[in-house]
């Protein structure tokens, strides 16, 4: 930590510095005493000797994390196997490897020997020797040191120079991300040849550029490593996160100032722009390097881009069952509840989701319901993208099929807070509930609802019940307007069509007195003309297949109804004889989803998340009116309620919200195969940038309390 | 004292002061000791008059003196002096603290703001739940403050303001931030937040000599501790931060000022966070649509697009974030640069408001940097920083093209080392 000094503190510091310099003036710089993590921004994994075994053999090495802290200007080392930070000479303090001012990002060489740290405010790149855990020289000249180092600084006295990120010393750069190819040589663990120059790419967000540096490994005894700025590539915008293919041939760049990501051919420096729908802050390549996951800056969204074709990748729903479709997605991107921050790909473990009986089953590509699962080999997914977000959660994406994962895919929608409005009077849910099952109830009731997978009948006919298509949004409000067959209109069998007018001379009939209004519906109950199931063409509207049996009332007279014409239909030919019919109020059985629950605030109906529908059973009032007649439901009566359609994102939500989740890495620490010979990542380490914490959690066990928090 | 020991002590002091700030107004003790002349005592708020004067509220936070004060500092005089050759008789530039025009305040004076035309100042006073209005008459050569019914400055050091024309008795407790807004009809409103209340009070502020201030309406956020307020000149939408909420959700509130008392207060929870309970600063970018919000736990500055959507409500599209300091204090904007003070780190951070990147930081501005205001004159661009813990005003170079960006140019007032007290 750095703070302004009082005189006494300043003197103490100067004295300590003087003693330090007197003792070690010509030695390599040493780790310093500091406090805990202080605005950690990046972390890298490497294998190195545990602190208690500095001269360890290869098989004794541990997985170590290099944690870059922006406000303490250093790198801390965390032993992922001992679950402890490396300590300094004073064991109460963690070891600190000082770097430049406000380090903002880091990258590592493929062999895990060196860490590249971009310094945001000193505008240069520090090189950290991960074996000795010190910042080391970049220019093979121990008589020079970095201009951002004070001449009296021990690292300056040791000749530590840094690689500039610009040929113009004056510019403010704000380096945002580092990309270093891992290499494609070797076996399963790719490695870069130490004989080759290693490119190191850094995005410079303020200048709209990429910096390419060249790193040369130490060349035997006496010829140390070298890191030089090689070139600056103008790419425009606000370059942000970077990802690079293992062979280093293709670099992908997020851009916070445009709606596209950039794909750079690192050999020719040709640049392609691919639409990302909006600004992006991070990009990640899937392990097979086929797909780019672009993390949007301004939207809770991951855009997918095919690296080879440079084309947006559909999210694959069309080819998959609908049982886990995210209602928020339109097929071009993956939507999440919170603002995404970073991604790591985790391999090995499957993910448990809940089946229809609330039992855990492995998440599969197919996600079939129970009746379809039997005997079918489903592909269990074992590759997931873990996405950290601003709220401190980690969401899981299916990185095989590239889609979001519903942790309760077979849970049907449920209703809640059912209310009823009749002649403007609001009947509260509690009163309505007390009415259900009672012998005498003046209201209609939604007695029950069933979840139905097979939605074949939902439109045929519409009176058999109310069918909801939940899931246009995950949670939405609904209003059902009472069907209401108008009394007196359903007792005729003497109506006749004269063109588009229905006439009925039945004694006592008065459409107006019965309450028929323009906009209501005439429903013809008599069968239409035709042969067998095939209706006569005069009964079928243009573009339709079935007979038209509903007609909208245009105007009302005492004995006749003028109907709205339907193109293609000739009622007189379709029903040449007297007909049976009834009149229903307009919007009868109208089911309306609303975003606010307010009548009139309608959203477009549609099916985007088809994990079943609800069939509602509505009972008429059981009470009698003052004349001992059944209570009729008025035409303005309506039910309102909420439907929760059940899409629940698979996520790890730690019981402690430690702040804004940032960078994360996964590690297969034990390196042991399971019963089926598979390796699996055991631990994920997650940084909380602005609250100084490092969290470890476990892909094999996702309880919200199952984590470790380090500070 | 070791660095660690000092910091521990410092944290203790800050915690004590923070705890004290939560106490109800309790400072009835008036030992009768006048504040030293040409000095600052726990300076908090600052506003800069374009004629070259800084108005600084000195909160008298430790109640050592009989009252707080609003001090006037002659910036043009400081600029005209040779800062490279400090006067050995006045190394702390105290002669530029103009006591003869400064006024007294009750304890815990907080924010000070100036009207857009520079003719009126408003100061929040936490102890007495008041806003003090002052008429300001400033020119190149002099400045006069008037807040007395007699329109004559009493012949005493740091005279207290009087009269209903100048002293607004607020409804809620512990006023904190103020925004003065001029309306097209020539009237002026003051929007006031309260650290120990849930309301935002909107007052009619007289612009002529005859009028009296009056409460127009108040809106309730229902969450304790309304902190900072920013009002978009483009949309008229006001955003209020919250300092002591019960929930760990970092809430902010917004309402449409154009709807007056009919406005509905909406709440937005920024983050679910164990520690997340303070949204601190709010400032609009020059476009009037991009809102910068300063948050503690997590300690960061975030940017949100508040452009109205189809429903007329702000889109609240997330635009970016920058991690800043440790327990950041306050947010101010100059041009495209947002400045964040961090009293605990003695630091100031400068953030590019367009590309949302930290462009510079300075960790040794002074002890307890709190508020910052700006003054551009001739070839200088100054940031004036109140240094709460050492009773000084730090003058900082805030010219982004300058090689000395964020360098301290001068300090006004003799520094006090409270770590030794």
The pairing of beta strand B214-220 with beta strand B226-231:
unpaired
Between A605 and A339, where is the model more confident? A339
Structure tokens of A662? 């940032």
Q: Which residues of A touch B1 (CB under 8 A)?
A: 8-9, 12
Whole-complex ipTM: 0.82
- Place A459 in a pLDDT band, splitting at 50, 70 and 90: very low
**Is residue A618 a contact partner of residue A637, using CB atoms and an 8 Å limit?**
no
pLDDT confidence of residue A617: 63
Q: Are residues B165 and B148 in contact, defined by beta-carbon separation less than 8 angstroms?
A: no
Q: Among candidates B361, B343, B363, which has minimal Cα distance to B352? A: B361
Per-residue tokens: A460: 């045929």
- pLDDT at residue A401 tops 60: yes
- Write the residue in A174, A176, A691 that is nearest to B298 by C-beta: A691
Q: Would you call B273 helix, strand, or coil by DSSP?
A: coil
Share of residues in chain A with pLDDT > 70 (%): 78
Q: Which residue has the higher pLDDT, A396 or B222?
A: A396
What integer best gives the mean pLDDT of chain A? Answer: 80
Q: What is the pLDDT of residue A643?
A: 63
Taking alpha carbons only, the member of B342, B372, B414, B398 closest to residue B56 is B372
**Biggest CA-to-CA distance, chain B:** 64
The answer to whether the Cβ–Cβ distance between B273 and A257 falls below 8 Å is no
Query: CA torsion, points A697, A698, A704, A707, in degrees to nearest 10?
Result: -40
Q: A352-354 and A360-362: which strand pairing?
A: antiparallel
CB A708 within 8 A of CB A83: yes
Q: Could you read off the pLDDT of A309-335 as tens digits, one per residue?
A: 998 876 555 555 554 567 677 667 899
Cis peptide before B262 (omega within 30 of 0): no
- pLDDT for residue A587: 53
- Range in A43-47, A673-677, B204-208 with the lowest mean pLDDT: A673-677
- For residue A447, what pLDDT is reported? 63
Q: What is the pLDDT of residues A341-378, one digit of tens each?
A: 999 999 999 999 988 778 899 998 887 777 777 888 88
Long-range contacts of A180-184 (CB under 8 A, 24+ apart): A180/A107, A180/A108, A180/A109, A180/A110, A180/A116, A180/A244, A181/A110, A181/A244, A181/A245, A181/A246, A181/A247, A181/A248, A182/A110, A182/A246, A183/A110, A183/A246, A183/A247, A183/A248, A184/A246, A184/A247
A102: nearest CB among B6, B361, B366: B361
Which residues, 6 or more positions from A149, have their beta carbon under 8 angstroms from its beta carbon? A155, A156, A160, A162
Rg (CA), chain B: 20
Residue A134 to residue A156: CA distance in whole angstroms? 13
Smallest CA–CA distance, residue A569 to chain B, in Å, is: 40
Q: Using CA atoms, how far apart are residues B196 and B244, in angstroms rounded to an integer?
A: 8
Pick from B2, B250, B272 the residue to mutate for testing the A interface (most A CBs within 10 Å).
Answer: B272
Model confidence at A506: pLDDT above 70:
yes
Residue with the bigger pLDDT between A409 and B274: it is A409
Average confidence (pLDDT) over A519-532: 89
Instruction: Quote the pLDDT of residue A2.
Output: 31
Contact between chains at A298 and B352 (C-beta distance less than 8 A) = no
Rounded Cα–Cα distance for residues A218 and A225 (Å)? 4
User: What per-residue confidence (pLDDT) applies to A157?
Assistant: 77
Highest mean pLDDT among A170-174, A450-454, A608-612 belongs to A170-174
Tens of pLDDT, residue by residue over A124-165, are: 999 999 999 999 998 888 788 877 778 888 777 777 889 999
Q: Which of B5, B298, B366 to mutate to test the interface with A (most CBs of A within 10 A)?
A: B298
Average pLDDT estimate for A463-481: 49
Q: Do B364 and A172 touch (CB under 8 A)?
A: no
Confidence band of A652 (pLDDT split at 50, 70, 90):
very high
Each residue's pLDDT expressed in tens, for chain B with a length of 421 residues: 334 334 444 444 444 444 344 333 334 455 678 889 999 999 999 999 999 999 999 998 888 888 999 999 999 999 999 888 889 999 999 999 999 999 999 999 999 999 999 999 999 999 999 999 999 999 989 999 999 999 899 999 999 999 999 999 999 999 999 999 999 999 999 999 999 999 999 999 999 878 899 999 999 998 888 999 999 999 999 999 998 756 667 889 999 999 999 999 998 888 765 555 688 999 999 999 999 999 987 788 999 999 998 888 898 888 988 988 888 999 999 999 999 999 988 999 999 999 999 999 998 899 999 999 999 998 899 999 999 999 999 999 999 999 899 999 999 999 998 776 6
Do the beta carbons of residue B370 and residue B329 sit within 8 Å? yes
CB contacts < 8 A (A, B): 125
Exposed / middle / buried, residue A92 (Cβ in 10 Å: 0-12, 13-18, 19+): exposed
Q: Determine the Cα–Cα distance for residues A168 and B326; give it in Å rounded to an integer.
A: 32
Q: What is the pLDDT of residue A21?
A: 35
Quote the pLDDT of residue A14.
38
Nearest to A305 by CA among A286, A322, A324: A286
Residue A72 in this model has a pLDDT that exceeds 60: yes
Closest residue in B to A102 (Cα) is: B361
DSSP B4: H
Contact A36, A94 (CB under 8 A): yes
- Which of these ranges, A17-31, A269-283, A621-635, B64-78, has the smallest mean pLDDT? A17-31
B318–A174 C-beta distance less than 8 A: no
B76 phi and psi, to 5 degrees?
A: -65, -35
Q: Closest Cα to residue A660, out of B270, B315, B325, B353?
A: B270
pLDDT at B247: 64
- Region for B236 from its dihedrals, namely left if φ exceeds 0, alpha if ψ lies in -120 to 50, beta otherwise: left
Distance CA A265, CA B119 (A): 61
Contact A256 B355 (CB under 8 A): yes
Q: Is the pLDDT of residue A637 over 50?
A: yes
- Give dist(CA B18, CA A358) in Å, integer: 50
Cα four-point dihedral sign A280, A285, A286, A288: positive
């Amino acid at each position: 930590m750095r703070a302004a000094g009082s005189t006494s503190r300043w003197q103490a510091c100067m004295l300590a510095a003087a003693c330090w310099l007197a003792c070690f003036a010509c030695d390599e710089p040493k780790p310093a005493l500091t406090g805990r993590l202080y605005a950690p921004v990046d972390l890298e994994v490497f294998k190195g000797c545990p602190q208690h075994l500095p001269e360890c053999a290869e098989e004794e090495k541990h997985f170590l994390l290099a944690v870059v802290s922006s406000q303490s200007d250093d790198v801390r080392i965390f032993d992922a196997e001992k679950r402890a930070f490396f300590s300094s000479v004073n064991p109460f303090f963690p070891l600190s490897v000082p770097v430049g001012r406000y380090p903002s990002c880091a990258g590592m060489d493929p062999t895990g020997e060196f860490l590249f740290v971009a310094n945001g405010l000193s505008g240069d790149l520090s090189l950290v020797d991960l074996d000795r855990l010190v910042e080391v020289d970049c220019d093979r000249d121990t008589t020079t040191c970095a201009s951002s180092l004070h001449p009296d600084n021990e690292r300056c006295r040791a000749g530590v120079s840094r690689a500039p990120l610009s040929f113009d010393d004056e510019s403010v750069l704000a380096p945002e991300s580092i990309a270093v190819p891992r290499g494609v040589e070797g076996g399963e663990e790719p490695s870069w040849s130490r004989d080759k120059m290693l490119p190191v790419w850094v995005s410079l967000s303020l200048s709209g550029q990429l910096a390419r540096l060249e790193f040369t490994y130490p060349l035997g005894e006496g010829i140390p490593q070298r890191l030089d700025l090689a070139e600056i590539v103008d790419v425009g915008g606000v370059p942000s996160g970077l990802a690079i293919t293992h062979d280093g041939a293709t670099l992908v760049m997020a851009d916070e100032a445009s709606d596209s990501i950039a794909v750079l051919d690192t050999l020719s420096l040709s640049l392609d722009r691919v639409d990302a729908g909006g600004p992006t802050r991070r990009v990640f390549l899937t392990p097979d390097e086929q797909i780019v996951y672009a993390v949007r800056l301004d939207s809770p969204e991951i855009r997918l881009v095919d690296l080879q074709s440079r084309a947006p990748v559909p999210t694959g729903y069309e080819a998959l069952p609908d049982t886990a479709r995210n209602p928020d997605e339109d097929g071009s991107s993956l939507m999440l509840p919170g603002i995404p921050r970073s991604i790591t790909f985790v391999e090995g473990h499957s993910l448990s989701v809940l089946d229809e009986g609330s039992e855990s089953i492995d998440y599969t590509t197919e996600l079939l319901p129970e009746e379809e699962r039997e005997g079918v080999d489903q592909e269990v997914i074992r590759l997931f993208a873990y996405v950290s977000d601003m709220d401190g959660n980690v969401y899981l994406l299916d990185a095989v099929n590239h889609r979001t994962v519903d942790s309760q895919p077979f849970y049907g929608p449920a209703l809640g807070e059912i209310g009823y409005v009749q002649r403007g009077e609001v009947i509260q849910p509690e009163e309505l509930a007390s009415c259900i099952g009672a012998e005498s109830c003046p209201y209609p009731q939604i007695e029950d609802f069933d979840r139905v997978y097979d939605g074949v009948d939902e439109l045929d006919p519409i009176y058999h019940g109310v069918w909801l298509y939940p899931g246009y949004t995950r949670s939405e409000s609904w209003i059902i307007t009472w069907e209401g067959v108008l009394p007196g209109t359903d007792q005729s069998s003497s109506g006749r069509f004269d063109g588009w007018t229905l006439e009925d001379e039945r004694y006592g009939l008065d459409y107006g007195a019965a309450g028929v209004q323009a906009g209501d519906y005439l429903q013809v109950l008599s069968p239409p003309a035709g042969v067998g199931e095939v209706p006569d063409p005069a009964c079928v509207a243009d573009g339709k297949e079935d007979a038209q049996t509903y007609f909208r009332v245009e105007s009302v007279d005492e004995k006749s109804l003028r109907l709205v014409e339907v193109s293609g239909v000739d009622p007189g030919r379709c029903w040449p004889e007297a007909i049976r019919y009834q009149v229903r109020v307009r919007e009868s059985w109208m089911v309306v989803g609303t975003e606010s629950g307010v009548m009139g605030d309608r959203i477009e109906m549609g099916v985007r998340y088809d994990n079943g529908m609800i069939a509602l059973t509505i009972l008429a009032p059981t009470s009698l009116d003052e004349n001992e007649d059944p209570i009729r439901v008025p035409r303005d009566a309506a039910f309102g309620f909420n439907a929760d359609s059940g899409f629940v994102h698979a996520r790890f939500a730690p019981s402690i919200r430690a702040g804004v989740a940032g960078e994360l890495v996964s590690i297969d620490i034990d390196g042991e195969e399971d019963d089926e010979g598979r390796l699996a990542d055991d631990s994920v380490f997650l940084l909380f940038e602005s609250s100084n914490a490092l969290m470890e959690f476990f892909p094999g066990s996702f309880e919200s309390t199952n984590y470790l928090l380090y500070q | 004292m070791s660095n660690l020991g000092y910091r521990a002590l410092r944290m203790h002091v800050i915690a004590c002061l923070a705890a004290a700030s939560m106490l109800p107004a309790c400072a009835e003790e008036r030992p009768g000791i006048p504040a030293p002349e040409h000095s600052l005592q726990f300076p908090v708020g600052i506003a800069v008059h374009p004629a070259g004067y800084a108005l600084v509220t000195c909160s008298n936070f430790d109640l050592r003196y009989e009252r707080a004060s609003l001090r006037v500092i002659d910036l043009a005089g400081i600029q005209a002096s040779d800062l490279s050759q400090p006067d050995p008789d006045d190394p702390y530039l105290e002669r530029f603290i103009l006591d003869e025009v400064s006024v007294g305040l009750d304890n815990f004076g907080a924010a000070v703001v100036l009207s857009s035309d520079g003719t009126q100042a408003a100061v929040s006073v936490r102890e007495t739940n008041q806003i003090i209005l002052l008429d300001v008459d400033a020119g190149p050569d002099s400045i006069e403050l008037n807040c007395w019914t007699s329109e004559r400055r009493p012949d005493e050091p740091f005279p207290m303001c009087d009269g209903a024309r100048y002293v607004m008795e607020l409804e809620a407790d512990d006023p904190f931030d103020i925004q003065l807004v001029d309306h097209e009809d020539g009237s002026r409103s003051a929007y006031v937040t309260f650290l120990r209340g849930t309301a935002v009070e909107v007052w009619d502020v007289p612009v002529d000599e005859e009028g009296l201030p009056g409460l127009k309406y108040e809106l309730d956020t229902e969450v304790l501790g309304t902190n900072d307020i920013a009002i978009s000149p483009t949309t008229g939408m006001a955003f209020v931060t919250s300092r002591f909420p019960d929930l760990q959700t970092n809430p902010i509130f917004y309402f449409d000022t154009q709807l007056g008392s009919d406005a509905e207060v909406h709440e937005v929870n920024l983050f679910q966070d164990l520690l997340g309970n303070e949204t601190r600063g709010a400032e609009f970018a020059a476009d009037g649509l991009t809102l910068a919000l300063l948050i503690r736990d997590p300690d960061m500055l975030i940017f949100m697009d508040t452009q109205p959507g189809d429903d007329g409500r702000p889109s609240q599209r997330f635009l970016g974030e920058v991690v800043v300091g440790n327990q950041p204090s306050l947010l101010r904007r100059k041009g495209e640069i947002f400045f964040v003070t961090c009293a605990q780190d003695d630091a100031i951070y400068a953030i590019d408001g367009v590309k949302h990147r930290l462009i510079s930081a300075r960790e040794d501005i002074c002890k307890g940097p709190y508020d910052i205001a700006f003054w551009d004159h001739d070839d200088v661009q100054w940031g004036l920083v109140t240094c709460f813990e050492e009773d000084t005003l730090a003058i900082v170079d805030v010219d982004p093209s300058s090689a000395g960006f964020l360098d301290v140019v001068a300090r006004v007032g003799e520094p006090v080392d409270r770590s030794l007290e």
